[in-house]
Every structure is written in structure tokens, then in C-alpha cells.
Amino acid sequence: MAFSPGRSSTVRRDRHLRLGLDLIAITGLVLVGQYSHGMSPVSAPIDAARAVVPFLVAWLVVSSVGGLYENDSPQRSIKYLGWLAICWLAAANLGFLLRGSPFLPGGVPWEFTAVFTGLGLCFLLGIHVGYELYRSVVATEG
């Protein structure tokens, strides 16, 4: 295949968009969780940041090590979704380890970690499947 500058920038933009969607999904999941447990991220932004940052850092580390954003159009394969799931399970556990460190508030019961990990997995898989459906519709219309 010949080099195409337009394709290269489209692929790069797609990777950045997928990463951005993942970070927004993880942030939203944590903030909705805080709100549903009676904490207000708006009135306590520092506490909200302390809850969100470990999971964002963990996702950036694990998804980078896992090469999640390296392929041109990985969502089209079940293998990619499996790898996404593995990366999320590792990132959620790393996030909880960071939250349990002496520098950040932690100490959550195991039930919470199970619910958060499961919901996060559903969020991320749903976003990637939805994004791929959107891309396929736009590609057929364009």
C-alpha cells in the first residue's frame, strides 16, 4: 500500500479520538459513582480528582503497554475487544492499587471493586462498539 498523508493523519486522529473517549468514559464512571454514593464532585473537586486520577494513570499505562491504540482499525475484530477487556481489568486493578496507596484515599470493599470493574468493562466495550458502528455508517454514507 502506498503512503498517503491523508490516511496517516486520519489514523492518528482516530487513535486520539478513541483514547479521548476512553478517558472520558473512565472519568464519567468514577464521577457518576461518586455522585451516586452521595459525594459531589462539584463541591469537592480535589476529592474527585483524587478518585479519578489513579484510574486515568492506570489506563494510560496499561493501554500503552498493551498497544491498544497502535492498529489502524482494531475495533473490527473480536480479538481487539478481548484485548480491550484485558487492558481494562489490569487498569482497574492498578487504579485500585494506586487508590489504596498512602498518598490517595482508598480502602474500598471488594464488592465495590467488582461493580466498578464490571461497569467500566461494559462502558468501554459499549463505547468502542458504538464508535465502530458510527464509523461504518459514516463510511457507507460518505
For residue 8, the model assigns a pLDDT of 66
For residue range 63-82, list pLDDT tens digits in order: 999 888 886 555 567 888 89
Q: What is the pLDDT of residue 13?
A: 82
pTM above 0.85, yes or no: no
DSSP readout, the chain?
Answer: ----HHHHHHHHHHHHHHHHHHHHHHHHHHHHHHHHTT--TTT-HHHHHHHHHHHHHHHHHHHHHTTTT-SSSGGGSHHHHHHHHHHHHHHHHHHHHHHTSTTS-----HHHHHHHHHHHHHHHHHHHHHHHHHHHHHHHH-
Q: What is the pLDDT of residue 61?
A: 96
Q: What is the domain partition of the chain in residue ranges? A: 8-141
Q: Which regions of the chain are under pLDDT 50?
A: 1-4
Query: What pLDDT shows up at residue 6?
Result: 53
Question: Given this model, what pLDDT does residue 45 score?
Answer: 92
